[in-house]
């Protein structure tokens, strides 16, 4: 005797991917990236307290192309996670659940995080002289 169950399929098999779904996953990934970036910040703080040689080592790393790429990614992850958190706060207040509001909030988080990241780096280069 064969028993047939009508279990639902996984959402990944049945749902149409939306930007909201994708950015929900990106929000989790940026949360993990912030842990890794915090290790970089701890390295910087320890090097600062350890003396000029240790500080010169981390400065050499952060001024290399890979170091700047990591810092740029950390900046974006920080701003994206912050704006995603604000989006979730709006949802916790009971707003923004309609399809158009949800998509608008999602696009605002994506565009806002990219724009703010670029703005932070442009201002940092303008103030710091590209150092």
Domain edges within the chain: 17-35+64-128
What are the pLDDT tens digits along the chain (131 aa)? 666 767 666 666 667 788 988 999 999 999 999 999 999 999 999 999 999 999 999 999 999 999 999 999 999 999 999 999 999 999 999 999 998 999 999 999 999 999 999 999 999 999 987 66
pLDDT of amino acid 17 = 81
Q: Decide yes or no: CATH 3.40.50.720 for domain 17-35+64-128.
A: no
Rg of the chain over Cα atoms, rounded to whole angstroms, equals 21
Q: What is the DSSP string of 36-48?
A: HHHHHHHHHHHHH
CA torsion sign, 62 to 123 to 81 to 105? negative
């Amino acid at each position: 005797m064969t028993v047939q169950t009508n279990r639902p399929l996984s959402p990944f098999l049945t749902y149409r991917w939306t930007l909201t779904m994708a950015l929900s996953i990106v929000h989790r990934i940026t949360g993990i990236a912030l842990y890794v970036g915090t290790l970089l910040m701890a390295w910087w703080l320890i090097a600062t307290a350890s003396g000029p040689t240790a500080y010169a080592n981390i400065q050499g790393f952060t001024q290399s192309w890979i170091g700047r790429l990591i810092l740029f990614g950390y900046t974006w992850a920080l701003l994206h996670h912050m704006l995603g958190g604000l989006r979730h706060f709006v949802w916790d207040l009971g707003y923004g659940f309609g399809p158009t509001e949800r998509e608008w909030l999602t696009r605002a988080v994506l565009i806002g995080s990219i724009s703010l990241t670029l703005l932070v780096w442009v201002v940092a280069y303008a103030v710091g002289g590209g150092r």
